[in-house]
Amino acid sequence: MKQVLLLCCFLLSFATLGQKKGNFVFSGTIQDIETKAPIEGASIFFSGLSIGARTDSSGHFSLSLPARSYGAVFRSLGYKYKTAKIDLKENIQISIYLEKSEQILDEVVISEEKSDANVSRTIMGVEKMSSNTLKKLPNLMGEADVIRSIMLLPGVSTVGEGASGFNVRGGNVDQNLVLLDGVPLFSTSHLFGFFTSFNADMVQDLSLYKGGIPSKYGGRASSVLDVRMKEGNFEKWQFQGGISPISSRLLIDGPLVKDKTSLIVGVRGSLSDFYLGYFPNPALQKSKADFYDVNFKLTHRIGKNQRISLSAYASYDGFKFAADTMYAWETKTISLQHFALWRDWSHHFTAFASEYAYGIEGLKSGYEFIWRPSITQKTLREDLSLDLKQWGRSDFGVEFTSYRNDAGTFRPSTMNSVVNTFPMQTEYSREMSVYIGHSLPIYKRMSLDVGLRYAYYQLQGPQQFYRYKSGIPRAINTITDTLRFQSGDVVQSYGGFEPRLSLAIKLDTNTSIKIGFNRMQQFMHLLSNTMAVSPVDIWKNSNPYLPQQVSDQYSIGIFRNFSNAQNAIFEASAEVYYKRLSNVIDYIDGAALYLNPTVETDLLVGEGRAYGAEFFLKKARGKRLTGWVSYTYARSFRMIEANGSQMSANFGKEFPANFDMPHNFKFVLNHRLSKRITFNANFTYTSGRPITYPNARYKVYAFNDLYDYGYANGIFPRPGLTPVTGGSSYTYLTGTNIQPLLDGYSSPSFTLRNQERIPYYMRLDIGFTIEPKEGKRWQGSWNFSIYNLFARENAYSIFFRSSTGLINQARTYQLSVLGAAIPSLTYNFKF
């Protein structure tokens, strides 16, 4: 901590250099003229000067200039530029409002950034996407989908159709930090992954960090998905929404006090569950499903430089399987944020509370039960930023979080139920972190982002833990003692530094090489021994038997922009990464995770590694055609070795992770057929994921069963068939006789773990969007899309069932979640 404080003092010493004699500070904000939302990455240029400025995430910019008159140009991709004359005789602060461009060239963009941002920005492995791009992609069942959209980017994958969550660069699903306006979400999907939890109408933009993760982010070991919500309109009331056969949505926003206070509310919910008829399973066809989510944001401006906002989010999912089981999961969050600018300083305070509850309810008569775990999180966070002018920019922050992880009590839900009550423990923990980061230009062609984060975790009482006999794997029959901790006692603590580094070297105005390193720690873990996680899988805190996960990622890449004769802009990049993972979780064969008070006996802790290369070519701007193509080669492995407290997995040999899919090809196309009609399509191909196949079978016969069967039929044994001196001879059954008589007991033999693969995955989606005519108060648009155009039956899993008969062999079955083309028609409106 002394080193961190010394670094802070060193950086603060530069603050006095920010304003030289005869210089004045020119600062302000750049916002959208309609929504008054801040525009990040907007550029400011000055006549007669080679320096400029860019806005931060709050739309703010600030720089020190000599006293004289300037011609200033304010611009951002997707907006009309604006000019102004500035007479700098004193410190000046202004607000600039940009109007969106109506030209075809700028209507389809991936992010509202400077056109050379992929080359000029220091950090690598980051992808940004605007709400406009999100809504123009082909979608499933009429819904623009945040999670499904980022899966079209290189380095992002999923284990199968309709699976919850996503995997980034060889990381587990639980290793992704998903933020909604700064609040972490534990579940990001509706209906087991078929819909996202984000209402696309509420999304301002999103950023996916795969590498070069800034030091202000922490708590997960693989990636960060930062989704920012819109603010309400400060000038006028607006209504927009959409209607489709699956779900409908409505968004209302406008000023409560003009230019001072705005409100935005978004509601979305399912209308029917007829789509379950697409599934071939009769039980699913009799099932019921519904969901909803609600977003709320109230923003108040305090003068020109401060704003305070109150946000809330709620989502619910219910899935009734046939007539006897009900699955449910829901999220509730509320947050208070305050943002302020003081000359060269910016301050952002966040306080939020969230609750994620999930569980199962049994409805079968006489066996009614309910099991409902939950996670409650409360966080205080302060972020500060200091603009040091030519010395760069420094960021500081501190965060404190407390968790209450209730594993749920299994109990009867009716008086007549025969189910017994089975209580589980509640875990209490807290995390504290502090970070510092600095962005610094080095000479003219180099820039450096360096950061350091320290995170500290404590598991607290009341808790009860079992002690196991040392020297042998943990098991129920090796428990030697019970340790009990009182409320407030520290049961276990973990912590460590997380260095972050990004270096960019510009070879010329259009080419740069970037190098990055980041370390991440994670203190909460998702326990799931199924191929695809579900929203009712268990979250577990780090404890004496389950240390924190740690990942170290090294990456290097080359980035280049170029244009053709028609002035279309192309962006190309190639990135290579290597990631080491410590304390990753795996499971013994047949692990029981639900309602298991000794779940540590079923868990295995080991090491992992991942590496890959990502190639990306994007046409970011053109007269009519935009899109991108990417290819990713990625591998991910795990190794679980035996030690004094656990057995090995796969005989201690390295094996592919469940989501190891080496080849991944994606193609996205957006073609403007006319001013109002747009055609879009995306194509995805991935290698099949790993699976463990049975390769042999042993037949085991019970002697008593075999004897009784043969004796009852008069064929075993049969004495006296052949006279023999001194006794009788017996005829015993041979193998060919046994087979038709009794099937016996089968014991399968398997290959090494994940040594086989299911068939490859391939899908093509298309869509058409008809935009409204200009100038009308009521603006209605239509979106027609077809998901899985070729109706390909992509394999979700392969499984085997033994068949009884003369051959007596196992039969192979393939499960396809969506084996049909799914059309959708959505009507969107705005007035």
**pLDDT tens column, 408-462:** 999 999 999 999 999 999 999 999 999 999 988 887 788 899 999 999 999 999 9
Instruction: Look at 219-223, 483-487, 520-524, 826-830 and tell me which has the smallest mean pLDDT.
Output: 826-830
Cα 266 from chain centroid (whole Å)? 22
CB 738 within 8 A of CB 706: yes
Q: Is the pLDDT of residue 2 over 90?
A: no
Q: For residue 8, give the DSSP letter.
A: H
| pLDDT score of 64 | 75
Extract the tokens encoding 12: 């603060």
Instruction: Look at 138-152, 326-340, 376-390 and tell me which has the smallest mean pLDDT.
Output: 138-152
Distinct helix (H) and strand (E) counts, the chain: 7, 53
CA quadruple 529, 535, 536, 539: dihedral, nearest 10: 70
| pLDDT score of 334 | 97
| pLDDT score of 580 | 96
Spatial strand order of the sheet with 92-98 comes to 60-66, 23-32, 92-98
| pLDDT score of 806 | 44
Which residues fall within 8 angstroms of residue 13, CB to CB, at 6 or more apart? none
Confidence class of residue 548 from pLDDT cuts 50, 70 and 90?
very high
Task: Please write the tens of the pLDDT for every residue from 622-632.
Answer: 778 888 999 99
Which residues fall within 8 angstroms of residue 680, CB to CB, at 6 or more apart? 136, 137, 138, 668, 669, 670, 671, 766, 767, 768, 769
Task: Please write the tens of the pLDDT for every residue from 262-273.
Answer: 999 999 988 666
pTM, two decimal places: 0.82
Extract the tokens encoding 496: 């460590």
CA quadruple 82, 85, 91, 97: dihedral, nearest 10: -20
Task: Please write the tens of the pLDDT for every residue from 282-308.
Answer: 666 677 888 899 999 999 999 888 899
Q: Is the pLDDT of residue 496 over 60?
A: yes
CB 179 within 8 A of CB 227: yes
Q: Is the pLDDT of residue 552 over 90?
A: yes
Helices in 717-810 by DSSP H: which ranges? 735-741
CB 220 within 8 A of CB 166: no
Q: For residue 547, give the DSSP letter.
A: P
CA distance 118 to 514: 10
| pLDDT score of 11 | 38
| pLDDT score of 724 | 52
State phi, psi for 342 to the nearest 5 degrees. Answer: -130, 100
Q: Which residues pair with 824 in a beta bridge?
A: 785
Q: Is the pLDDT of residue 707 over 90?
A: no
CA distance 540 to 519: 22
CB 213 within 8 A of CB 171: no
Q: For residue 38, give the DSSP letter.
A: B
Mean pLDDT score, 490-499: 95
CA distance 140 to 786: 8
Task: Please write the tens of the pLDDT for every residue from 227-258.
Answer: 999 899 888 899 998 888 778 889 999 999 99
- Using DSSP's 3-state secondary structure scheme, residue 451 falls into strand
Burial class (CB in 10 A: 0-12, 13-18, 19+), 709: middle
Residue type, 24: F
DSSP assignment of 88-151: -SS-EEEEEEEPBP-SGGGTS-S-SS-TTHHHHSS--SEEEEEHHHHHHS--BTTB--HHHHHT
Q: Is the pLDDT of residue 108 over 50?
A: no
| pLDDT score of 282 | 65
Task: Please write the tens of the pLDDT for every residue from 639-698.
Answer: 999 998 999 999 999 999 989 999 999 999 988 888 889 898 999 999 999 998 888 777
Cα 479 from chain centroid (whole Å)? 38
| pLDDT score of 276 | 64
| pLDDT score of 321 | 74
Categorise residue 788: left if φ over 0, alpha if ψ from -120 to 50, beta otherwise.
Answer: left
Tell me the percentage of the chain whose pLDDT exceeds 70.
83
H or E stretch at 378: strand 374-387
Kindly list the structural domains of the chain, giving each domain's residue range(s) and its CATH number in brackets, ordered by start: 2-101 (2.60.40.1120), 117-691 (2.40.170.20), 702-740 (no CATH)
Average pLDDT, the chain: 83
CA distance 192 to 231: 29
Angle 812-817-819 (CA atoms, 0-180°, nearest 5)?
90
Residue type, 614: E
Instruction: Look at 65-79, 145-159, 472-486 and tell me which has the smallest mean pLDDT.
Output: 65-79
DSSP assignment of 599-666: GGGGEEEEEEEEEEEEEEEEEEE-SSEEEEEEEEEEEEEEE---BTTB--SGGG--EE-TT---EEEE
Which residues fall within 8 angstroms of residue 93, CB to CB, at 6 or more apart? 27, 28, 304, 305
Helices in 260-351 by DSSP H: which ranges? 282-285
| pLDDT score of 809 | 63
Extract the tokens encoding 509: 């105005």
If we measure between CA atoms, which residue out of 268, 374, 367, 372 comes closest to residue 324?
367
Q: Is the pLDDT of residue 704 over 80?
A: no
- Distances, alpha carbon 108 to alpha carbons 125, 569, 635, 681, in Å: 22, 12, 33, 14
State phi, psi for 561 to the nearest 5 degrees. Answer: -115, 145
CA distance 249 to 330: 18
Extract the tokens encoding 267: 């509601």
Higher pLDDT, 718 or 334: 334
CA distance 369 to 413: 5
Confidence class of residue 12 from pLDDT cuts 50, 70 and 90?
very low
Which residues fall within 8 angstroms of residue 207, CB to CB, at 6 or more apart? 126, 127, 128, 224, 225, 226
Instruction: Look at 9-13, 152-156, 551-555, 616-620 and tell me which has the smallest mean pLDDT.
Output: 9-13
Q: Is the pLDDT of residue 803 over 70?
A: no
| pLDDT score of 107 | 36
Task: Please write the tens of the pLDDT for every residue from 569-592.
Answer: 888 999 999 999 999 999 988 888
User: What burial letters (b/e) apply to 163-174, b meaning 16+ CB within 10 Å?
Assistant: bbbbbbbbbbbb
Mean pLDDT score, 765-771: 88
> What does the longest C-alpha to C-alpha distance in the chain come to?
130
| pLDDT score of 401 | 97
| pLDDT score of 525 | 94
- Distances, alpha carbon 546 to alpha carbons 470, 481, 604, 713, in Å: 16, 19, 9, 58
Angle 27-31-35 (CA atoms, 0-180°, nearest 5)?
155
Residue type, 658: N
CA quadruple 175, 131, 666, 530: dihedral, nearest 10: 30
Instruction: Look at 82-86, 366-370, 521-525, 620-624 and tell me which has the smallest mean pLDDT.
Output: 620-624
